[in-house]
Amino acid sequence: MSLSTLFDEIKDPKNRPDPYPLYARLAGHPVVRQEDGTYLVSSHAAIRALLFDPRISSADLPPAKSPPTGNPFKDWILQPIKDEIVSRHRPLIFRDPPDHDALRRIVMTQFTISRVNAMKARAEAHLGELLDKRCGAREICVVEDIAYPLPVTIICEMLGVPREDEPTFQGWATQLATALEPDARHDEETQGQTRATFDAISAYMKVLIKEKRRHPQDDMLSGLAAGTEAGAMGEFDLIATSILLLVAGHETTVNLIANGMLTLLRHPHELERLRQDAERAPRLVEEILRYEPPVHFRTRKALADIAIAGEVIPEGAPVVLLFAAANRDPARFAEPRRFDPDRPDNQHFSFGGSLHYCLGAPLARIEGEIALVTLARRLIDPRLVDDPPPYREGASLRGPKTLRLSVDRIA
Amino acid sequence: MRVVVDLNRCQAYAQCCYAAPESFELRGAEILVYDPAPTPEHRGRIERAVQACPVRAISVEFDDTIGTAS
C-alpha cells in the first residue's frame, strides 16, 4: 500500500485499535503528499517547525453554510447573514493572530491558577462519589462510570454551568466533538446535527451569560461576561469560546483517563507502582500522553508555499500534523514503542504546541492524575474484559468507547 | 534542591506556574521568575513542573539524587 493514501487508512475505523504500525511506516518520510493534495506531517522536527511557522494557519474550516429550507426569505437573506456571523466567530482554536491572541489572553485571565487548583479537591470528591455508586459491583466501565462523568462536572464547575444542566451538556459535547473529525466537515448528515446542536447550545449559553451578568458568581463565564483586564469579548465570541471550552475540556480528558487506565492494565507493574506511590502520577500521565495521546492529529492550512524536509507544501494545501506519530519518532525518543514513565526528556506534542498549546493542559493533568491514582487504589484486582476494547469512531480524538473491567471489589 | 530554568528555551507556556505556583511566576506575558532553591516540601510540585514543561526547560537537582530530571 502506497504512502500517498496512508491518511485514508489512518481514518479507517478498522485501524482504530492500533494505528501505530501505520505511523511507523512514515519513518523517514516526514512530509508526505496524499492523493487528495493533503500533506501528512509526522516527524517531531517537522511538526515542531510548522507549529512555530506563521505561514501555517489554524483557520482551516470551510465557511458555514446552512442547508436550504425552501423558504426564499430564509435561504437568501436570513441564513447567509447567520452563516456569515458564524464564520466570523469561530472559536479561537480555528483562529490566527492577532484575533486568536487577543481572545486567548482574555480567556487566560479567567483560567486562573487558583481556579484550576481548586478543581483538585472537587475532582477527588466527585471521583469518590462515582466509585461509591459502583460499590459492590464486580464490573466497572472506566469510560461510562468514570472518564465520561468526571470531566463534564469539572468543566461545568469551572465555567459556572448549573449542575442540573450537566447531562444536557454531556450530549452536546459528544455531538460537537464528532464534528471535529476531518471527514465530518463534509458529511451532510453530521453537519446538520452539528448545526442543530450548535443552535441549541448557543441559545442556552446566551441565556446563561445574561444570567451571569445579572448575578455574577466566582466562575469563568461570569468573569468573561463582565469583561476582564485583558479586554472584553463580543457576544458571539463569548458564546463560541464557552462552547469550545466545554467541548475541548470534555472529550479529550475522557480519552486521557480511558487510554491511561488501558495502558496501565497492559503494564500491570506500573499500575502496582502507582498504587503504592501516588508521586509516580505526574510522570505516568506525561508518558500516557506521549504513548496513547487523546488527540492524534490536528489539521492546518498552508498560507504560502512552505519548503520543509525536502518537500514543498503548496499554498492553500490542507496539512495534517500527526502528533501521535511524532510522539513515537525514533529520531526524538529512545525506544519510542516502549512505555517508560521514567524517560528523562518526554517532550510530546499531545497538547499541541506554540500559540495554540492546549489552554486546558494543567486541568487535564490534574484530572488525569487524580483519576488514575484513585482507580489504582480503589479497584481491587482489575482485569480487562476486552483487549483491545471497542473504540469510538474518531481518528483524531481517539479513545475507547467502553473499557470494561472485572474487579474483585471496589474498595 | 536546586532549580535551573533555561530561559532561552522557555516559551512562557506557564505550565510550571500551574504545577508549582509558589515556585514559578510569570510576570507580564513572558517573564518567568522562579525560586532557584525551593525547600524540600515543594519536591512533588517541582517534579510536576518539570514534567509539565512543554519545552523541557526546567532542570532540577535533588540533594539526595543528582540529575533525576533534565
- What are the sequence ranges of the domains in chain B? 2-61
**Distance from C-alpha of A212 to C-alpha of A220, rounded to nearest angstrom:** 10
The domain spans of chain A are: 3-63+91-410
Mean pLDDT of A396-408: 97
> How many CB atoms lie under 10 A from the CB of residue B25?
16
Assess A345–B contact: CB distance below 8 Å, yes or no. Answer: yes
**Distance from C-alpha of B36 to C-alpha of B21, rounded to nearest angstrom:** 14
Instruction: Write phi, then psi, for A362 (nearest 5 degrees).
Output: -60, -35
Q: Given a cut of 50, is residue B68 above it in pLDDT? A: no
Which of A105, A285, A347 is closest, CB to CB, to B54? A347
Of the pLDDT bands very low, low, confident and very high (cuts 50, 70, 90), residue A61 is: confident
**pLDDT tens readout for residues A182-219:** 777 667 777 778 888 888 999 999 999 999 999 999 99
The pLDDT value recorded for residue B69 is 47
Nearest CA in chain B to A287: B51
How far CA A336 is from CA of A90, A157, A342, in Å, comes to 36, 37, 13
What residue has cell string 510569570? B26
Give the list of residues 6+ apart from residue A276 with CB closer than 8 angstroms, or none: none
> The dihedral of CA A223, A228, A233, A235: what is its sign?
positive
ipTM: 0.87
| SS3 call for A111 | coil
Does the distance separating the beta carbons of A353 and B47 come in below 8 Å? no
Whether B23 contacts B33, CB under 8 Å: no
CATH code for the domain defined by B2-61: 3.30.70.20
Does the distance separating the beta carbons of B70 and A344 come in below 8 Å? yes
Does the distance separating the beta carbons of B54 and A117 come in below 8 Å? no
Does the distance separating the beta carbons of A347 and B69 come in below 8 Å? no
Mean pLDDT of B21-35: 90
Q: Identity (one letter) of the amino acid at B21?
A: P
Whether A196 contacts A204, CB under 8 Å: no
**Distance from C-alpha of A164 to C-alpha of B56, rounded to nearest angstrom:** 41
Taking Cα atoms as reference points, which of A74, A64, A397, A75 lies closest to residue A240?
A64
Residue B31: which H helix or E strand, with range?
strand B31-34
Q: Under CATH, which architecture does the A3-63+91-410 domain have?
A: Orthogonal Bundle (1.10)
Q: Given a cut of 80, is residue A60 above it in pLDDT? A: yes
Interface of B with A in 26-65 (CB under 8 A): 29, 44, 47-48, 51-52, 54-56
**Distance from C-alpha of B33 to C-alpha of A102, rounded to nearest angstrom:** 24
- For residue B35, what is its C-alpha cell? 525560586
Interface of B with A in 3-22 (CB under 8 A): 11, 13, 15, 17-19, 21
The pLDDT value recorded for residue B70 is 40
Of the pLDDT bands very low, low, confident and very high (cuts 50, 70, 90), residue B44 is: very high
**pLDDT tens readout for residues A367-380:** 999 999 999 999 99
Q: Chain B contacts of A344, Cβ < 8 Å? A: 69-70
Does the distance separating the beta carbons of A113 and B17 come in below 8 Å? yes
**pLDDT tens readout for residues A91-105:** 999 999 999 999 999
